[in-house]
Amino acid sequence: MTRVTVGNATEPAATAPRRPRWAAFGGLAYLVVSLVSSALYLVRIHPSLTNDYWWPDFNSTGVQTFLGDVYNLHLSRSQRGAFPLFDSDSSVYSTKSYANNDTRIEWSASYSRQLLLDEIPLAMAVNGLRKLNLEVNLMMVAPYCWLDINRTFAMAHTFKRQRRCEATKQSNAGLYVETVTRNCAANSMYTTTQRQEINGTIFSTLRLTKEGQWWIQA
C-alpha cells in the first residue's frame, strides 16, 4: 500500500515590484512645488483680496465706506441726479472718521419698509408683474374683491367685506384677479402648478353661467 505524506510545501514569497526612486522624488518635488506656488499666488493677490472690488491697494475702510455712506444717505432722501460728495449739510458722514480700520457703512434699517410703503408708478408695477409668472403673482395673496374688471363675480370672503369693496375699493386694481391674469401668459392659468386649485375654486363655478364661460374663453 502506497503511503502519501502531506506536508507544507515551501513556496517563495511573492514580492511587489519596487518602484524606481526617481518616481518618489518626483512626487515629493511636485508636492513641494504645488505648495510653494499656492503660497506665492496668495501673496501675489493679497492686495486685491482686501476689498470687495478686487482693486489692488484700494482703501475699503476709507474710500469704499465713504462712498457707501454718501450713496445710502441720498438714497434715503429719494434724490436723483448729481449731488456733491462733500455735502456740509450731511451730518451722517461729515462728523465721521474714515481713518480707522473698522469703519462701518451707515445704512437705514427702515429703508426696506420705506420702499414697501412708497407709491409705485403704474408702469413700473405692470412691468414687474409681467416679469413674474402666475405662481409668484398669486403668492401675493391679496384680499381680492372681484374676479373680473366688470365686477360681475364677487370674491370677498364676507358680505361686509364685499359691501366695503363696493363703497371704497372699486378703483383699486390690486383687488381684481383679472389684473393679475391679464399680465401673465394667456395659457398660464392652465399650465400653472396651481391649476387644480384654480379649477376647483374658480373655473368650476364660472362654468355654471354663460357669463363665466365667456370670461374663461376671453
Domain boundaries, the chain: 24-57, 63-114, 119-217
SS3 154: strand
Neighbours of 72 (CB within 10 A): 17
Sign for the CA dihedral angle at 94, 97, 101, 107 comes to negative
| pTM score above 0.75 | no
pLDDT digits (tens, 9 = 90+) for 28-65: 999 999 999 999 999 999 888 887 888 888 877 788 88
C-alpha dihedral over 134, 135, 139, 142, to 10 degrees?
Answer: 30
Euclidean distance between CA atoms 34 and 199, whole angstroms: 63
Low-confidence residues in the chain, pLDDT < 70: 1-19, 78-79, 87-94
Euclidean distance between CA atoms 103 and 106, whole angstroms: 9
Angle at 155 between CA 152 and CA 160, to 5 degrees: 105
Measured CA to CA in angstroms, residue 139 lies from 1, 35, 110, 155, 172 at distances of 97, 52, 24, 17, 18
Longest dimension (CA), the chain: 122
Would you state the pLDDT for residue 161?
Answer: 93
End-to-end CA distance of the chain: 108
Cell of 71: 450713496
Would you state the pLDDT for residue 5?
Answer: 56
Euclidean distance between CA atoms 72 and 66, whole angstroms: 10
DSSP character string of 49-104 = GGSTT--TT--IIIIIHHHHHHHHHHHHTT--S---SS-TT-HHHHT----STT--
